[in-house]
Structure 1
Amino acid sequence: MTVKTTETVRWRTEAERRIYSSKLLEALRRSSRTPSHPGKRTREVRETADRVLAVAARGRTRWSRAILAKRARLLRVRKVKKQKSSGDLRLPERERRWKLPEVEKKVKVLSRLVPGCRKVSFVNLLEEASDYIAALEMQIKVMATLSEILTATGGEVKRCRGN
Structure 2
Amino acid sequence: MTSDEYESAVLQVKQHIIAGDIFQIVISQRFECRTLADPFEIYRTLRVVNPVPYMTYLQARGCILVGSSPEILTRVKSNTVVNRPLAGTVRRGRTPDEDAQLEKMLLSDEKQCAEHIMLVDLGRNDVGKSTRESTLTTLDAWVAVTHLDKMVPYITASLTDAKLGAEGRKDLFDWLSR
Higher strand share: 2
The normalised TM-score by structure 2 is: 0.26
The normalised TM-score by structure 1 is: 0.28
Structure having greater relative contact order (Cα 8 Å, sep ≥ 6): 1
